[in-house]
Amino acid sequence: MKILIIEDELGLQRSIAQYLTCEGNLCSMASNYAEALDRLNSYDYDCILLDLTLPDGEGLQLLNYLKRMNRPEGVIIISARNSLDQKIEGLSLGADDYLIKPFHLSELNARILAVVRRKSANGDRHIEFNEIRIDLDAKEVLVSGNSVYMTKKEFDLLLYFVANKGKVISKSAAVEHIWGDDADMADSFDFIYTHIKNIRKKLTDAGSRDYFHSVYGIGYKFTEV
């Protein structure tokens, strides 16, 4: 996938690029409005990450531009501003998603995947990982063709891990993915363990191999072997 990161904070820009590049994605970077416009004029992308406050212009203008040009790219706004108004304005101007800073890169990655998949023309709305097949429309998990029942939280969590396959996901990132940041749960992440245990059991019971690996006691990794 080709991803354009429009973000003026260089530290964040590099981190995002580093995380996404490992996935086999191609990342371009733009630190200001002019640069972003220049890139957009020259190349096509699969997904654009857009910071709303740029040193030389408003990110929303870029969104307008993309809409005017009828560009097919998925756009995810990344902003520290989380006022409802701005969120609605951004989404009504054609952004596909809105992520409030600070966020976990695994969350960003999952969102990118979701947006790109939603945008993809062939309508193939499922993700496969070896014998596991996740149907996004039916919200169903199949192991070698057999349906495995999962609760909504378990389904979300599995999808999250599969989207970030090969990456270590911290417990706090997993908790925030499932419970959002409404819930003030900063002091207890351990209950995520129960969920992972349940998912593992359900998958292995259905004949799947165990792809979950605990890492340093800090998080989990969904990966082959």
Partner 1 sequence: MKLFTRYNRILIIISLFGLLLIGFLFYRMLVYYLDQQIDHDLVEEVMEVKEYSAKGNFYQPHEFEDLVVQYKKIEKANPSSSYGDTLFYNPLKHRKETARYLKTELELVGQPYCVLVIASKFERQEQIRNICLIILIPVMLLFALVLLVNRILLKKIWTPFEQLLKNITAFNINHERPYEPVEMPVAEFRQLNKVLVELSGKVKSDYNEIKLFTENASHEMMTPLAVINSKLDNMLQSNVLGKEDGETLVELYKATSRLTKLNQSLLLLVKIDNNLLQDEEQINLKSLIEEKQVYFQELISERNITVESTLADVSISASRSLLEILINNLFSNVIRHNYDGGKIEISLETDKIVFANTGHNKALDPEKIFDRFYKDNASEGTGLGLAILKQICNRQRYQLDYSYHQDLHTFTITFNHQ
Q: Which residues bind partner 1 (CB under 8 A)?
A: 9, 11-12, 15-16, 18-19, 22, 80-85, 100-106, 167-168, 170, 172-173, 176, 179, 181-188, 190-191, 194-195, 215-219
- In the bound state with partner 1, the residue whose beta carbon lies nearer, of 85 and 137, is 85
**Other beta carbons less than 10 A from residue 197's beta carbon:** 11
- In the bound state with partner 1, the residue whose beta carbon lies nearer, of 138 and 183, is 183
Shortest distance in whole angstroms from residue 184 CB to partner 1? 5
- In the bound state with partner 1, the residue whose beta carbon lies nearer, of 172 and 204, is 172
Is the previous residue joined to 102 through a cis bond, with omega within 30 degrees of 0? yes
Shortest distance in whole angstroms from residue 179 CB to partner 1? 7
Phi, psi of 132 (to 5 degrees): -95, 130
What span, in angstroms and rounded, lies between the C-alpha atoms of 104 and 173?
Answer: 6
Shortest distance in whole angstroms from residue 15 CB to partner 1? 3
**Other beta carbons less than 10 A from residue 38's beta carbon:** 12
Shortest distance in whole angstroms from residue 1 CB to partner 1? 18
Q: Which residues pair with 140 in a beta bridge?
A: 135
Shortest distance in whole angstroms from residue 131 CB to partner 1? 25
- In the bound state with partner 1, the residue whose beta carbon lies nearer, of 4 and 142, is 4
Supply the angle between the helices 152-163 and 192-205 in degrees, to the nearest 10: 80
Closest C-alpha to 40, from 65, 15, 14 = 65
- In the bound state with partner 1, the residue whose beta carbon lies nearer, of 149 and 179, is 179
What span, in angstroms and rounded, lies between the C-alpha atoms of 138 and 198?
Answer: 21
Q: Tokens 């970030």 appear where?
A: 164
